[in-house]
Amino acid sequence: MRRALLPLVLAATLLAGCSTPEPAPPPTPVGGAAALPGPVPADLALRPVPGTAPAAPAFTGALTDGTPFAAAEVWAQRPVVLTFFTSWCTTCASRQAALSELARSYRDRVVFVGVAGADEADEVQDYLRAHRVDYPVVLDDQQTIWRSYAVREPPTIVLVGKGGALLRGWPGGLDAPALDQRLRELVLAGQP
């Protein structure tokens, strides 16, 4: 009986070894829905928004994973930092690690949102992974959002207060320590 089963076991083993392995699922895109903010912290204290501040241009778009994104829904509850960048911008790359760390330190209190313009989705993914970007990123390949904010080249940082007031913009961007100081001065109350 054992001798009769042996050829069957060997055949099954050989056939199993010849099967094609299942392909690995594609990696989850960085900058997608998983990066959206959590609930607003109960102790979030904000400075009043100046009544003279103009409204920030509202926009919609798709995050890197295709999730629809509406900026006005996010800034209705808390301040937003818009970071306009491209994967090929050397200044963006040199500042991104510190900016990513700053975004993590403000998680859920101030939402950082990247706006990638004039770029290929796979190149944006490579950039986001290389620089450990944890915040949502809108793909703006036609630069429609860039134009609405008069962004001519990266990097550019824009600060939008809670409720959608356009507080400040910095063509040429800011390094993380300078942006941290501006957030404390312009939007966060009770911060040293």
pLDDT reading at 41 higher than 70: yes
Number of domains composing the chain: 1
pTM here is 0.85
Q: Which pLDDT band holds residue 162 (cuts at 50, 70, 90)?
A: very high
Evaluate whether residue 17 is within a structural domain.
no
pLDDT reading at 72 higher than 90: yes
Evaluate whether residue 40 is within a structural domain.
no
Instruction: State the CATH number of the domain containing residue 150.
Output: 3.40.30.10
Cβ-Cβ contacts under 8 Å for 143 (sequence gap 6 or more): 117, 118, 151
Q: Mean pLDDT across the stretch 156-162?
A: 98
- Quote the DSSP letter at residue 35: G
155 cis-preceded (ω within 30 degrees of 0) = yes
Evaluate whether residue 18 is within a structural domain.
no
Evaluate whether residue 58 is within a structural domain.
no
Evaluate whether residue 20 is within a structural domain.
no
pLDDT reading at 58 higher than 60: yes
Q: Mean pLDDT across the stretch 24-38?
A: 84
* Rounded Cα gap, residues 136 and 138, in angstroms: 7
Evaluate whether residue 145 is within a structural domain.
yes
- Its domain, for residue 115, covers 71-186
Q: Which pLDDT band holds residue 192 (cuts at 50, 70, 90)?
A: low
The three-class DSSP label of residue 178 is helix
Return the pLDDT at 70: 97
Specify the DSSP element, H or E, that contains 117.
strand 111-117
Return the pLDDT at 1: 53
* Rounded Cα gap, residues 143 and 174, in angstroms: 21
* Rounded Cα gap, residues 171 and 5, in angstroms: 76
Return the pLDDT at 63: 97
